Amino acid sequence: MSAPFYKFGLFGDNIGLVIAFVIGIGFGFFLERAGFGNARILAAQFYFTDLRVFKVMFTAIVTAMLGLFYLSWIGFMDLALVYATPTFLLPQVIGGLILGFGFVIGGYCPGTSAVSAATGRVDGMIYLVGLITGTFVFGEFFPLVERFYVATPMGRVTIPDILSLPYGLVVFLIALMAVGGFAGATWIEKTVAAKRGAVKP
């Protein structure tokens, strides 16, 4: 048996939707347990007082990266069949900036707003309504922005492709980056907390 299971026809669309639903519920549960249903905790990221968003998300990325790499290395996973969103550089950069701007203002990203709404937070519900409304408006006006939406296409690219480096070396370097990032984030939190304590009357 080899993965990805869907690509090899081990289950169809209906089972795929059930699996996606279960994974989504699990993902939301762990986001909530990490405190990501609270806009104050999420916004604290931008004030460097609580960098758990960085730590949790980077941990998830590195865990998935290492899992995929080693499953591929032992021959269980065919990385060529793992879907990667095609890169359209300019629209994705602009979209990322817009999403980040909204994150700073509202304290939520799309996933965390759903978690917040599910736990009964009014601000999360309002944010989620705005997200759904924005998605609907974008869909209605898509013909007007379609050319920009597909501008600067780069196809399916990865960091090893761009840097012309072996996958294993890139995995190792990103793992080192994560270790350094965690240490740096902890140092920043302690430094900011010390400064805040020093200015208290």
Task: Domain count for the chain, please give it.
Answer: 1
Handedness of CA 149, 154, 155, 159 (dihedral sign): negative
CA distance 107 to 113: 9
E runs forming strands in the chain: 87-88, 153-155
Q: What is the pLDDT of residue 1?
A: 52
> Is residue 141 one of the residues assigned to a domain?
yes
> Is residue 99 one of the residues assigned to a domain?
yes
> Is residue 55 one of the residues assigned to a domain?
no
User: Residues of 65-103 as b/e, b for ≥16 C-beta within 10 angstroms?
Assistant: beebbebbeeeebeeeeeeeeeebeebbeeeeeeeeebb
Q: What is the pLDDT of residue 199?
A: 56
Tokens of 115: 């978690």
Query: Do 51 and 45 touch, CB atoms closer than 8 A?
Result: yes
Whether this model's pTM surpasses 0.75? yes
Q: What is the pLDDT of residue 93?
A: 96
Domain that holds residue 133: 85-157
Rg (CA), the chain: 20
The pLDDT profile of the chain, 201 residues, written as one tens digit per residue, is 577 887 788 888 899 899 999 999 999 998 898 889 999 999 898 899 999 989 988 898 999 999 999 999 998 888 888 888 999 999 999 999 999 898 888 889 888 999 999 999 999 999 999 999 999 999 999 999 999 999 999 999 989 989 999 999 999 999 999 999 999 999 999 999 888 876 555
CA distance 167 to 160: 6
Q: What is the pLDDT of residue 4?
A: 83
> Is residue 80 one of the residues assigned to a domain?
no
> Is residue 35 one of the residues assigned to a domain?
no
CA distance 51 to 56: 9
> Is residue 73 one of the residues assigned to a domain?
no
Q: What is the pLDDT of residue 200?
A: 52
> Is residue 14 one of the residues assigned to a domain?
no
> Is residue 31 one of the residues assigned to a domain?
no
